[in-house]
Amino acid sequence: MAISMQPHGIQSMLKEGHKHLSGLDEAVLKNIDACKQLSTITRTSLGPDGMNKMVINHLDKLFVTNDAATIVNELEVQHPAAKILVLAGKAQQEEIGDGANLTISFAGELLQNAEELVRTGLHPSEIISGYTKAITKTLEILEELVEKGSETMDVRNKEQVVSRMKAAVASKQYGLEDILSSHIADACIQVCPKNPVNFDVDNVRVSKLVGGVLHNCTVIRGMVLKGDAVGSIKRVEKAKVAVFATGVDSSATETKGTVLIHSAEQLENYAKTEEAKVEELIKAVADSGAKVIVSGGAVGEMALHFCDRYKLMVLKISSKFELRRFCRTTGTSALLKLSQPKPDDLGFVDSISVEEIGGSRVTVVRSEDGGNKVATVVLRGSTDSILDDLERAVDDGVNTYKAMCRDSRIVPGAAATEIELARRLKEFSFKETG
């Protein structure tokens, strides 16, 4: 931090309290140092034997994980150069979903080697051009290292999927990868659309329930919703579903209105007509053949009463996204007003039941045969942080599957590829001049 003693020059032109570092000594080396520190932190988390890091973020939430992307995210890095590394890791996470640790550690290592070169007097721009040449050559060599015969792959074949996914999951949760990857593969295969390239990672949901142990994890074809069913009916089989995006209630006007009553009979009939109205609407829904009503907002008490009377099961899904996924799972189209649904607006489920898992009640929506677009992996574990970590592992697995669908070529892992690349690159460098 060079606090220049010159009040004139660039210091006086810029705002109060800023820091200005330039030159080899200050800027380049210090930046490299900062990045090195960051990569040292994440380095020990690489691979199946990687150690976890315990991070408490500014909201006091506890993370215990070895996923580099999560760690650096929560670390709140201040130094600008190190932040670039963080962004690189994030980009890797968004694009591919895995390999963030590789990115950060590799970048740190590159910078460390560059530092030695800089100290021997090499100009940074020469280093940059050298690195650029190296990366082009590396990508070429990488093509050659691809395993033969892995270009084509049946993304629905479970063994092939599992064999590719195991390594990714193992590096997160060593020792549990067999069980986990088998479940993840199940879930992904169920959800895979006709054209594998269109695989949407959002369709594989994760549901975390505290309690039990990993061996109790299951995959459910359908969705798991936290919370009980509203109303008294808790179980329904082979039912048609109607979805209402707004609440299920008698409509109230937005503007402040007053009801003008002119005679005694009007007063008496007032309450009755409201009730009758709601009953009519619910009856209409029941007549359309729906046995289940799903509401995106609150369900009025009067409406609930009639739903019970007409033996309709009522579910409440408060999140818009969950509601959308539910519609995808069951093939329903959401209605905006409480009115009689048309036959093709209705969806279908194999069963909905309220079960108690690990002390909390959840609603399990099962949709077995064709057209089910959403699968849920139910994770059990003893603490919240374990569950969060398992979820990250599942995410990695699903992202690997997505990458597989796009391009199923594989290269040997466990640093075999890296060493081979290093060797070939070295040979290549001997042929270069300068």
Residues making contact with other proteins (CB under 8 A): 1, 30, 33-34, 37-38, 40-41, 44, 49, 51-60, 62, 64, 66, 74-79, 82, 174-175, 210-213, 232, 256-265, 267-268, 270-272, 275, 301-302, 304-305, 308-309, 356, 358-361, 381-386
Element (H, E) at 298: none
Q: Can you tell me the distance from the alpha carbon of 275 to that of 270, in angstroms, rounded to the nearest whole number?
A: 9
Nearer to other proteins, 75 or 127 (CB): 75
3-state secondary structure of 278: helix
Output DSSP code: residue 230.
Answer: B
Nearer to other proteins, 120 or 255 (CB): 255
Nearer to other proteins, 75 or 425 (CB): 75
- What's the closest the beta carbon of residue 51 comes to other proteins, in angstroms? 4
- What's the closest the beta carbon of residue 346 comes to other proteins, in angstroms? 26
Going from the C-alpha of 8 to that of each of 12, 19, 27, the distances in angstroms are 5, 15, 21
Asked if residues 290 and 348 have their Cβ atoms less than 8 Å apart, the reply is no
Nearer to other proteins, 257 or 434 (CB): 257
Output DSSP code: residue 360.
Answer: E
Nearer to other proteins, 76 or 407 (CB): 76
- What's the closest the beta carbon of residue 265 comes to other proteins, in angstroms? 7
Q: Can you tell me the distance from the alpha carbon of 209 to that of 391, in angstroms, rounded to the nearest whole number?
A: 11
Which of 325, 296, 99, 367 is CA-nearest to residue 205? 325
- What's the closest the beta carbon of residue 55 comes to other proteins, in angstroms? 5
Neighbours of 357 (CB within 10 A): 18
Nearer to other proteins, 33 or 322 (CB): 33
Q: Can you tell me the distance from the alpha carbon of 228 to that of 360, in angstroms, rounded to the nearest whole number?
A: 9
Both tokens of residue 332?
Answer: 């329903």
Question: Exposure string (b/e) for 175-201, b if CB count within 10 Å is 16 or more?
Answer: ebbeebbbbbbbbbbbbbeeebeebee
- What's the closest the beta carbon of residue 222 comes to other proteins, in angstroms? 22
Nearer to other proteins, 283 or 409 (CB): 283
Asked if residues 257 and 279 have their Cβ atoms less than 8 Å apart, the reply is no
- What's the closest the beta carbon of residue 174 comes to other proteins, in angstroms? 8
3-state secondary structure of 346: coil
Both tokens of residue 104?
Answer: 């950060």
Residue type, 209: L
Nearer to other proteins, 35 or 204 (CB): 35
Q: Can you tell me the distance from the alpha carbon of 238 to that of 236, in angstroms, rounded to the nearest whole number?
A: 7
Both tokens of residue 184?
Answer: 């993840």
- What's the closest the beta carbon of residue 383 comes to other proteins, in angstroms? 4
Radius of gyration (C-alpha) of the chain in whole angstroms? 29
- What's the closest the beta carbon of residue 384 comes to other proteins, in angstroms? 6
